Amino acid sequence: MINAVLQDELEHNDIKMQTTPAASAGARRRPSDNMSWKQMEAVTSVTLRNSQDLAGAKSAADEPFAGLKLQRFSLHVDFPLACIVTGLAVEAGSTENLATALAYPNAMSKRQSLTSSSTGTSGGYHYSFWTDGSDVTYTNGDAGEYSVTWSGGSSNFVGGKGWQTGSARDISYSSDYNPDGNSYLTAYGWTRSPLVEYYVVESYGTYNPGSGGTKVGSFNSDDGTYDIYTATRTNAPSIDGTQTFTQYWSVRTSKRTSGTVTMANHFDAWAGLGLDLGTHDYQIFAVEGYQSSGSATVTVS
């Protein structure tokens, strides 16, 4: 039930709401009780003090808009009002937080945090998170966004978002990448027949991952130079259990934390060196860490 302070504010600002009462405890829920925000009809009219343009205001996912003033709000909702105001702190004399939450529902979206290996779908993207026991937390966000935090130890992890089937696509990404030690920011995937684990490393921490392999060439792509390495893993974890397989590495010589990776260029460069790929399994843009600590927030598209 709306508290008295909020009710006064709704009336004071001429806010009109039509709601369908929430079902009683234990009652069978209607399909509309699970209605998404995209199915909700809302019309808002707001002004920003100091003539600040709404499009340039700071995202509500960070904090409520400074100076936001509600003039008029008309809303029709066919699910319990509690779904809207849950978690909101509406102070006397203010409806700004309510207006912001209604207009920007992504600020209240659910996030999925994982500490053990998992794969699935999140925000329309395939995600893969593997850990051998690291002190690491991987969190899926909206659409192609995810974050990961990890601390020191002797363990390994790799996680990210992308596609269930790899291809010669262009992968765009942006990130806030803060490694302390051995870590990679990388396009990452697998093929079968032959079984290959491949990396296109855009940035890394204190250790160049190619240094553990054999350098077989270099080429230019996406306004940078990549060194190509190969390595063999013996009796190591793979998408088919413990196997012996080959790794292909493209390591960018000038690190970057945002841009576009043209995967076709890497596949062609590898093929020109006799490094064949098989049938693609998943392909993600990932963060990997080994015996290190750090944090990263990444958005993939």
Which amino acids are annotated catalytic? 197, 288
Contact (Cβ atoms closer than 8 angstroms) between residue 159 and residue 128: yes
Dist. CA 137–CA 131, nearest whole Å: 10
Which residue has tokens 């205001």? 57
Q: How far is CA 300 from the centre of its chain?
A: 7
Which two three-digit tokens encode residue 167? 């291809």
Residues paired with residue 237 on neighbouring β-strands, in sequence order: 242
Dist. CA 216–CA 230, nearest whole Å: 7
Contacts of 62 (CB under 8 A, 6+ apart): none
C-alpha pair distances (Å), 249 with each of 264, 267, 272, 281: 14, 11, 14, 17
Q: Give the CB-side neighbour count of residue 39, counting CA atoms within 13 A.
A: 8
Dist. CA 133–CA 143, nearest whole Å: 27
Dist. CA 205–CA 182, nearest whole Å: 5
